[in-house]
Amino acid sequence: MSEPDRRDFLRYSAGAAALALASELLPTLEAAPRADGLEVALVGCGKQGRAILTELSKIEGLKIAAVCDVFDSRIAAAKRRAGDVPSFRSHKELLSGAAGVQVWIVATPTHMHREIVLDALAAGKHVYCEAPIASALEDARAIALAARGAKSLFQSGLLARSNPVYQLAHSFAKSGALRDPIRARAQFHKKSSWRASANDPAEEKAHNWFLDPAVSLGLLGEAGTHSFDVAHWFWNAYPIAVRASGSVQFYKDGREVADTVTAEFEYPEQRRLQYSATLANSFEGQHEVFQGSMATIKLAQTAGWMFKEADAPTQGWEVYANRQQFHEEQGITLIADATKLAKLGKLKEGVGLPNPPLYYALADFVKSIVEGKPVATGAEEGLRAAVVAIRANEALRSGERVEILESDLKAE
């Protein structure tokens, strides 16, 4: 072995040893288990439904057995991905026409979830339901109660708790790397009109349910719910009140649902989560930031970083970690499989996830079914995230501070 090779070997061996000391903090990128014989029906073949089909196609042995949507155009689009599978125009038809399919993925508009989920659970189906699970408090509670009493599994489509990078960050936060929690902020910035066109006026109205204030939670619900759940998870706490404001800043097309919003959530111990979302600008995309007295963690879907304070104690492994410069700050890149990659001298190759967050949530759901394990994010957390979004939307509409009671967050 040459001297340079020897130095590299010793360096990465030492790095692996240091990382191994904290191995319980380092999640691995486990492949989804084979799902031989598992048949899945997709209910709702819009944009999100088709994205779900793409991710399900990566799971070996899994079969898309049926698709369901009220519009022929969307069924046709789904079949281009899933193949010439049986199709149905309503979930009632699906229940009778494909009774043997035991797994349902519900990706319909949020306000339509309740009836579909309750009927599926009553029929013994395993259900994965997109988040937020509902746009009305009574609907979210009904889903949570039905899931609690079901013999089958229910997973809420909140993505963070299945995300390997977020799991790693959470383990660091739980171990005290941030020390004293100070504040958090999150955002969803994506330039997109949220408006879809169609030849038929009725179809166009249905496609644009996001923009219908009668049924939509707007940006605070359809985007914010995921970030709110991250805060609940990292802080192990739920907000007690919220203020929000918003308006139509850019899309002057007659819409009533704000294209730009901000909200501030009050948590116990005087903590605050500040949230912003806009459809008029994409700068810095979607992310969450948690600040503590010893470090800050930034999470951005497929990547994450930890920025340690100058007076933060070291744990040894930081010397061998991959780093990234952000102006005057240097972030330690959070990498799943870090122990294994350090041994191979390939830490940089592990930066970022190989799949989008949606894949890991669906893979976890399949794993729970195949291995009989609890789901990553159940109905109770789905309920709480939905309730926070619902109360935030109330604050946005009223312009008033809205309290979030402990009783709001319970199914009973």
- For residue 149, how far is the Cα from the chain centroid? 24
Instruction: Classify residue 226 by burial, with Cβ atoms within 10 Å: 0-12, 13-18, 19+.
Output: buried
Q: State the pTM of this model.
A: 0.90
In tens, the pLDDT along 71-107 reads 999 999 999 999 999 999 999 999 999 999 999 999 9
Q: Which of 25-34, 116-125, 282-291, 376-385 has the lowest mean pLDDT?
A: 25-34
- Distance between CA 396 and CA 242 in Å, rounded? 9
The bridge status of strand 260-266 relative to strand 241-247 is: antiparallel
Q: Which residues contact 78 (CB under 8 A, 6 or more apart)?
A: 42, 45, 49, 50, 53, 67, 69, 87
Cβ proximity of 125 and 99 under 8 Å: no
State how far the alpha carbon of 197 is from the alpha carbons of 176, 213, 338, 392, in Å: 49, 18, 45, 29
Question: Where does 177-350+379-406 sit in CATH, by number?
Answer: 3.30.360.10
Beta-bridge partner residues of 244: 263
Say how far apart CA 303 and CA 322 lie, in whole Å.
13
Q: Are 222 and 211 in contact (CB under 8 A)?
A: no
Q: pLDDT tens, 201-223?
A: 888 889 999 999 999 999 999 99
Question: pLDDT confidence of 412, banded at 50, 70, 90?
Answer: confident
Q: In what order do the strands lie in the sheet with 260-266?
A: 323-326, 329-333, 304-308, 295-299, 286-292, 181-189, 272-278, 260-266, 241-247, 402-403
The alpha-carbon radius of gyration of the chain (Å, integer) is 22
Chain-centroid distance, C-alpha 411? 21
Place of tokens 């492994």: 317
Confidence of residue 325 (pLDDT cuts 50, 70, 90): confident
Of 214, 216, 221, 43, nearest to 132 by C-alpha is 221
Furthest-apart CA pair in the chain: how many Å?
73
Answer for the pair 106, 379: CB distance below 8 angstroms, yes or no.
no
Neighbours of 379 (CB within 10 A): 28
